[in-house]
Structure 1
């Protein structure tokens, strides 16, 4: 029986337990347990340098009020990278290919940035809905357009992450199926297809890290407008 290529993106359930719940806890299982001993090796040094550079780049253009989000941004970045990278392993499930999970991450964080802006500087936040110098006849139209663009931000965050990972995984499966089918028929073409599959896998590893960074970067830009 031929299964659909999109079956891999369904949310599987095993023994009544949704595997998405297990996959979400897996990054915490992989992290080392904190101890009071001084730990210093090449991996931890590289990890500390990466987190430091990442948070500095995110928070540099932001006012000091937004620096309170540094821990949240760094944790979210590592969490998304772990989920995306673990999903590239064989016989694994990628939770970030589920739009419901991505929207569950994007919606509360986006709403938090909006509420912070409305509480701390309501005039400036509402001023984003109407650019300065707008002609009077265009004021209602521009307010409607800016309001729609404001509420579409969390949808864009979730759909962007879902679509990029889904497209990459689906393309890998298609090329792998082609290489498997062509192997007994045309071995030379199958080897070329397998080479393309290897290069695409490397590209998908880069996409997994870049999409996690873009997700957090856009959240930081939304926060920057409201602090």
Structure 2
């Protein structure tokens, strides 16, 4: 019996209990905590260097008020990268291929940036809905368009993350299935297909990291508009 290609994106369950919660908790156990010593080991030093470099790069376009979000944005970036990379291992599950999880991360963070803008600078926050110098007849139309674009931002964030990872996983499965089927029929073509699969795997690793960075980068840009 042929199973659907999308079955790999179903949340796994054991004895009727969803295992998604376990997959979400695993990243927190993979990163070592700083030791109470004067000098850390090489792994902790490398981890600290990476976090400091990324945080400084992320805060470049943000004003001083947005620096309070450094811990949230950096933690989100590391968390998403870890989830995406673990999902590339065999016999694992990628939680970020679930639209509910992606939207569950995107909507509260986006709403927090909007509420920060409405609290700190309500005039400027509402001013984004109407560009300066707009002709009077176009004012109602532009306000409606800008309002729709504002509310579509979290949907675009979640769908972008889920769609890119889902498409990459599907393509890898299709190429792997083709290589396996042609192994006994056309070994040469199967070898070339396996090479393509290897290159596609490297590309998917890059996509897993880039999509996490894009998610956090767009969130920081939304934050910059409201601080």
Q: What is the TM-score normalised by the length of structure 1?
A: 0.97
The 5 A counterparts of 1:64-79 are 64-79=64-79
CA distance in 2, matches of 1:192, 1:108: 45
Task: Report the counterpart of residue 89 of structure 1 in structure 2.
Answer: 89
Residue equivalent to 2:46: 46
| Contact 2:34–2:40 (CA under 8 A) maintained in structure 1 | no
**Number of the residue aligned with 2:206:** 206
Q: Deviation of residue 44 (structure 1)?
A: 2.7
Distance 1:88 1:15, change over 3 A: same
Q: Distance in 1 between matches of 2:135 and 2:78?
A: 45
Once the two structures are TM-superposed, the CA of residue 60 in structure 1 deviates from its matched residue by 1.4
1:35: Cα distance to partner?
A: 3.0
- Give the 5 Å matches for 1:55-204: 55-204=55-204
Give the Å deviation of 1:39.
Answer: 4.7
2:22 corresponding residue in structure 1: 22
Structure 1 residues 20 and 39, CA gap change in structure 2 (3 angstroms)? farther
Say how many residue pairs are matched. 227
- What is the DSSP-based 3-state SS (H/G/I as helix, E as strand, rest coil) of the residue aligned with 1:183? coil
When the two chains are superposed, the root-mean-square deviation of aligned CA atoms in Å is: 1.0
In structure 2, relative to structure 1, the CA distance for the partners of 1:38 and 1:182 (3 Å cut) is farther
1-structure distance, mates of 2:215, 2:182: 38
Shift of 1:47: 2.2
In the alignment, which residue of structure 2 is the partner of 1:36? 36
Structure 1 gap ranges (5+): none
**Aligned equivalent of 2:4:** 4
Per-residue CA deviation, residues 174-217 of structure 1 (Å, 9 max, x unaligned), is 00000000000000000000000000000000000000000000
Q: CA deviation at 1:13?
A: 1.3
Q: Aligned partners of 1:12, 1:5: CA distance in 2, in Å?
A: 15
Distance 1:61 1:29 in 2: 31
Structure 2 gaps, min length 5 = none
Contact 2:32–2:44 under 8 Å retained in 1: no
Q: Distance in 2 between matches of 1:105 and 1:114?
A: 15
Q: Deviations over 1:123-153 (max 9, x none)?
A: 0000000000000000000000000000000
Q: CA deviation at 1:19?
A: 1.4
